[in-house]
Amino acid sequence: MADSDDKLWYKDAIIYQLHVRTFCDSNNDGIGDFTGLIQKLDYLQELGINALWLMPFFPSPLRDDGYDTADYLNVHPNYGTLDDFKRFLVAAHNRGIRVIIELVLNHTSDQHPWFQEARSSRENPKRDWYVWSDTDDKYKEARIIFLDTEMSNWAWDPISKSYYWHRFFSHQPDLNFDNPAVFEMMWQVMKFWLDIGVDGFRLDAVPYLAEREGTSCENLPETHAIVRELRHRLDAEYPKAMLLAEANQWPADVRAYFADGDEFHMAFHFPLMPRMFMAVQLEDRKPIVEILEQTPQIPDSCQWCIFLRNHDELTLEMVTDIERDYMYDEYAKDKAMRINLGIRRRLAPMMDNDRRRIQLLNILLMTMPGTPIIYYGDEIGMGDNIYLGDRNGVRTPMQWNGGWNGGFSGADPERLYSPLISNPVYGYQAINVEAQHRLPHSLLSWMKAVIAVRKSSRVFSRGSIEFLRPSNHRVLAYVRQLDQEKILVVNNLAASAQAVELDLKRYKGHVPIEMAGGNLFPRIGDLPYLLTLGPYNSYAFRLRRF
């Protein structure tokens, strides 16, 4: 466990992402809740994760899975009460698990009282909390994000007879951060949760906070100024709290959100994710090496967040057209698997349930620079249901056992917020925690082991990375280093066995010790270091000098 006083705790974190609704239902109403989540904290502790990222749990009409907030200062009754949340927070902290909550700064639900007031009349004091216009002509250069559902970033409000600005769904009006009152209110919201004890925020849709004519309305200096001011206040009053940016942008653009270490602590590395999938399918390290080489340096106090899958579609915004076509052709042959500019599938089905490929991707996740995020259920290889609409197919109930509702809820199955995955391959009878817990060689057991390896050295979380360039492009090899500690990671991206000669001359005299089994390998000498790897095999070697 990392030092709990360490201000850089987020660098050593292994984050587990979940929605309260999906995890465990304690009151048999068919919906997961905080009391249920408390019951499962031992499981998460045993898995080895040390941070939880909770998706929105605020009161909401739930037209966008909670990203349409209707009250920032409470808990949606479906999931329990504020007191339940507080109990959960204490229980998590007692297990060494930090809690990151989601905050949607950019927009509210159209059901939020602020918006209801704002639309009630043009003279209402809350009117200026949102972005209004008499025409839909402004900010024409801003792209439409939800191409499948939205025709414009403006929506007509029949009540106040004007247009309001929304970068996402039309039922999610954007807040007007040019109004200082909005900023002050959102800071008060953050203080509210920080005072309760949350450890950080994942701030949703960050690039879109400000709008200016003649721009794309993304990543504007005004947006950065807002973030900087939030961070300034945070550092002054809550120095251990962490801000994580959701900015689905190219690394060079996201880099600006780290600024001089005075904006976000962490940001997602969106372009890396599809390229990990691409590399495995292509059996070629090029996509990964290329994007990491294009990734700028970030301040020492900052960290990338990396992930394989999450609650959204596997976004393909940060790839070229050629790459996107390839990803669709390889991973989303069925058009129903596609949504917006992405693929709505889980990890295991994307890997055709090939345990070796699932493990390979998780090894990459755990050994690349950045803080890894595991999406709930992926640690046991849960499947998806692409026919559930929107992105609900990757948000089905957690599969705890092979019994009633997969152990998720005691409610009638018809009452569940979502049907369970029930097909013979990925269904809860086949894929569940209880079954895998009993087997030392299950995916779950393997995940525990790989998380333990990750946590055994800060080299993974804080070290530098240097790619080796063996002539065999199917092998991705790199050395992670922190001070004198060095770890060599070698991955075979191919479905066939590979031999590789690594130029390790600079580590001459070191003895590689394989980290999973602790076995010694031959000492590194002057000659290229020959390794053979089975299909999709990976090794992590601690390089020791004896």
Partner 1 sequence: MAEDTFLDDDFLRQLMSVGEVDLLVGIPSHNNATTVAATVDAIEECFRQNFYRDRVVIVNVDGGSKDGTPEAVLNAAVSQHENGRGLTSLRTEHCVGMRYAQPVSTGQLYRTLLAAADLLRAKACAVISPASSNVAPAWIEKLLKPVYREKFDFVAPLYGRHKFDGLLGRNLLYPMARAVFGWRVRELHPSDFAFSGGFGSYCVNQDVWHEEAIGASAETWMAITGTRPDFRICQAFLGQKMHAATTSGSDIVSAVRDAVGAFFWCMESQQEIWTARTGSEAVPTNGPDHELTIQAVRINRKRIFELFRTGASELETILKSVLSPETHAEIQRIAALDERKFRLGGELWARILFEFAASYHRAVINRDHLIQALVPLYRGRIYSFLLDHQESSPQEIEDDTEALCLELERQKPYLLERWNQKG
Q: For partner 1, which is the closer residue by CB, 90 or 499?
A: 499
Tokens of 489: 């990671």
Chain-centroid distance, C-alpha 497? 32
Query: Contact with partner 1 (CB under 8 A): which of 181, 499, 520, 527?
Result: 499
Q: Find where tokens 């989540």 sit.
A: 37
Q: How far apart are CB 480 and partner 1 at their closest, in Å?
A: 22
Binding of partner 1 by 276 (CB under 8 A): no
Q: For partner 1, which is the closer residue by CB, 41 or 282?
A: 282
Query: Contact with partner 1 (CB under 8 A): which of 97, 198, 273, 278?
Result: 278
Strand bridging mode 498-502 / 475-482: unpaired
Side chain identity at 407, as an amino acid letter?
G
Binding of partner 1 by 324 (CB under 8 A): no
Contact assessment for residue 340 and residue 146, using Cβ atoms and an 8 Å cutoff: yes
Task: Please indicate whether residue 204 is annotated as part of the active site.
Answer: yes
Binding of partner 1 by 314 (CB under 8 A): no
Active-site residue, from 33, 246, 312, 379: 246
Query: Contact with partner 1 (CB under 8 A): which of 166, 345, 474, 510?
Result: 474
Q: How far apart are CB 252 and partner 1 at their closest, in Å?
A: 16
* DSSP designation for 516: T
Q: Find where tokens 């005691």 sit.
A: 410
Task: Please indicate whether residue 136 is annotated as part of the active site.
Answer: no
- Dist CA 444 CA 432 (whole Å): 9
- Dist CA 177 CA 118 (whole Å): 14
Contact assessment for residue 74 and residue 84, using Cβ atoms and an 8 Å cutoff: no
Phi, psi angles (nearest 5°) of residue 392: -70, -20
Binding of partner 1 by 282 (CB under 8 A): yes
Q: For partner 1, which is the closer residue by CB, 450 or 493?
A: 493
SS3 call for 480: strand
SS3 call for 336: helix
- Dist CA 231 CA 257 (whole Å): 11
- Dist CA 77 CA 82 (whole Å): 9
Q: How many residues bind partner 1 (CB under 8 A)?
A: 21
Binding of partner 1 by 135 (CB under 8 A): no
Q: For partner 1, which is the closer residue by CB, 200 or 271?
A: 271
Query: Contact with partner 1 (CB under 8 A): which of 284, 390, 434, 503?
Result: 284
Binding of partner 1 by 503 (CB under 8 A): no
Q: For partner 1, which is the closer residue by CB, 369 or 470?
A: 470
Binding of partner 1 by 354 (CB under 8 A): no
Non-local CB neighbours of 299 within 8 Å, separated by 6+ positions: 258, 259, 260, 261
Binding of partner 1 by 501 (CB under 8 A): yes
Binding of partner 1 by 470 (CB under 8 A): yes
Binding of partner 1 by 468 (CB under 8 A): no
Q: For partner 1, which is the closer residue by CB, 436 or 498?
A: 498
Fill in the per-residue mask, 425 to 464: x = in contact with partner 1 (CB under 8 A), - = not in contact.
----------------------------------------
Q: For partner 1, which is the closer residue by CB, 233 or 469?
A: 469
Q: How far apart are CB 333 and partner 1 at their closest, in Å?
A: 15
Q: At what angle do helices 221-237 and 180-196 cross, to 10 degrees?
A: 40
Active-site residue, from 174, 199, 204, 384: 204
Binding of partner 1 by 331 (CB under 8 A): no
* DSSP designation for 522: P
- The DSSP annotation for 205-266 comes to TGGGS---TTS-SSS-HHHHHHHHHHHHHHHHH-TT-EEEE---S-HHHHHTTTTTTTS-SE
Binding of partner 1 by 285 (CB under 8 A): yes
Phi, psi angles (nearest 5°) of residue 204: -80, 145
**Which residues are tagged catalytic?**
204, 246
Residues that bind partner 1 (CB under 8 A): 278, 282-287, 322-323, 326, 470-474, 494, 496, 498-501
